[in-house]
Amino acid sequence: MKIAFDAKRFFHNNSGLGNYSRDHVRILAEHFPENQFVLLEQKKSERGKAILNFKNVFFHQIKSGKFARQLKFGKTSQEINSDIFHGLSGELPLKWNKKPIKKIVTIHDLIFVRYPQFYSFFDRKIHFWKFKNACDQADLIIAISEQTKRDIIEFLKIPAEKIKVVYQGCHQTFKEKKSEEFLTETRLKFNLPEKFILNVGTIEPRKNLLNIVKTILGTKVNLVVIGKKTKYFNKIEQFILKNNLKNQVYFLENVSMEELSAIYQLADIFVYPSLFEGFGIPVIEALFSKTPVITSNSSSLPEAGGKNSLYVNPESVEDLRSKISFLWNNESERQRLSENGFEYVQKFTDEKIAANLMKVYLEVLEN
């Protein structure tokens, strides 16, 4: 079987859709070496370089030009005799020739429909049109959670039988126990406190960091934050300065993937009260790191966290404060959640995700 991928995100996105694309291709290449996986893009980058070392992964360069993804990727995948074209980030090409090929698209979330206030009018219209067009022409749609599947049915009016849920995993480094030496080096490098709660993700309104900061007011809880700053950061910074919390909140920058995984393992609690997620990879990263999780009781987050995470109303500072306080002062409960959460997260191993993906590919070919 030969599968062609739209590899724009694979090569050019550092996180999010880029990580999904790279992990997707990597685990398939590792577990199904008898197949060929072709990455279509106009130019390569250092990202994903290691994955191109697999003997069954190939880069096929598309000549540069305006709208190459829309006009050239599809036809090229047919010309090189691909059995399947897979759009990994909610899009499919617009132009195809008459040669048979199956089309699959992955839809990650429809947050722009649920929370339009976080997107410009133009972006909402473009996203909706691209996603709807891709879902209509796809032979099969992969949703990354049951929540996303429900949203595709509700908002894009796609029949349920056309959608398969295949969960995401996370980078291998989060599954590896770091040495005590590396943990100590990381703690010293970033001047981390002895005990802290952790939040990871873009610092934007939807991720709800301000509510976490509000919960530590009047406590001795230390908060470590890792994520790209947006304008929303200014609002958080003002609150920190106004309430003299500067010595309790640590914003880290230039953190490598290895260092990030070490910080997860050093953290006492991972806190992720996002208003809405298509899935919530940081929750999986924390569970693989054996760090107990507090996250939102809404969207897909209970799917990611399982029954051994604690859940809160993300808009209730009091609910969040009480859950953090409970775990912060209860080591035995942290240990219990750590062990049981690690057992639950084994459903997101590379082996299981690769098997589920291949099942989808074989099914679409048989139909």
Pair 253, 134 in one domain: no
Cα 87 to Cα 231: distance, rounded to the nearest angstrom:
31
302 and 361 belong to one structural domain: no
Of 219, 160, 217, 224, nearest in space to 187 by CA: 224
3-state secondary structure of 333: helix
The whole-number pLDDT of residue 66 equals 81
The answer to whether the beta carbons of residues 274 and 247 sit under 8 Å apart is: no
Residue 197: beta bridge partners?
Answer: 223, 269
Instruction: Assess contact for 240 and 262: CB atoms under 8 A.
Output: no
Rounded alpha-carbon distances, angstroms, from residue 246 to 27, 197, 203, 241, 254 = 42, 15, 17, 6, 20
CA distance 213 to 9: 32
Q: Report, as ranges of residue numbers, the positions in the chain whose pLDDT lies below 70.
A: none
Domain count, the chain: 2
Q: Are residues 203 and 227 in contact, defined by beta-carbon separation less than 8 angstroms?
A: yes
Residues 52 and 112 in one domain: yes
Give φ, ψ of 224 to 5 degrees. Answer: -110, 130
Both 16 and 96 in a single domain? yes
Please tell me whether residues 154 and 178 are part of one structural domain.
no
Q: Are residues 211 and 273 in the same domain?
A: yes
In this predicted model, what pLDDT tens digit does every residue of 117-133 receive, in sequence order? Answer: 989 999 999 999 999 99
User: DSSP 3-state assignment of 223?
Assistant: strand
One domain for residues 153 and 194: no
Strands 310-312 and 293-296: parallel
| Same domain as 28, residue 151 | yes
Q: Are residues 9 and 105 in the same domain?
A: yes
How many whole angstroms separate alpha carbon 222 and alpha carbon 247?
8
Distance CA(252)–CA(192), nearest Å, equals 10
CATH number, position 338: 3.40.50.2000
How far is the C-alpha of 139 from the C-alpha of 353, rounded, in Å? 20
**Which residue has 């035995």 as its token pair?**
332
pLDDT value of residue 241: 97
Rounded Cα distance, 251 and 260, in Å: 13
Write the CA distances from 63 to 6, 43, 59, 277, integer angstroms.
14, 9, 13, 36
Relative to beta strand 249-252, strand 293-296 is unpaired
For 166-209, write each residue's pLDDT tens digit: 999 998 999 999 999 999 999 999 999 999 999 999 999 999 99
Q: Which helix (H) or strand (E) covers residue 292, if one does?
A: none
Do 271 and 208 lie in a common domain?
Answer: yes
Whether 14 and 140 map to the same domain: the answer is yes
225 forms beta bridges with: 199, 251
What confidence score (pLDDT) does residue 63 get?
86
**CA dihedral defined by 180, 181, 183, 189, rounded to 10 degrees?**
160
**Domain span including residue 186:** 172-347
Residues 79 and 160 in one domain: yes
CB atoms within 10 A of CB 229: 15
Question: How many Å apart are CA 145 and CA 137, to the nearest integer?
Answer: 21
- Cα 296 to Cα 305: distance, rounded to the nearest angstrom: 9
Instruction: Please tell me the predicted confidence (pLDDT) of residue 67.
Output: 87
How far apart, in whole angstroms, are the C-alpha atoms of residue 300 and residue 280? Answer: 7
Q: Which of 271, 277, 57, 240 is nearest to 147 (CA)?
A: 277
**What pLDDT does 289 receive?**
98
Determine phi and psi for 98, rounding to 5 degrees: -85, -5
287-306 confidence digits (pLDDT tens): 999 999 999 999 999 999 99
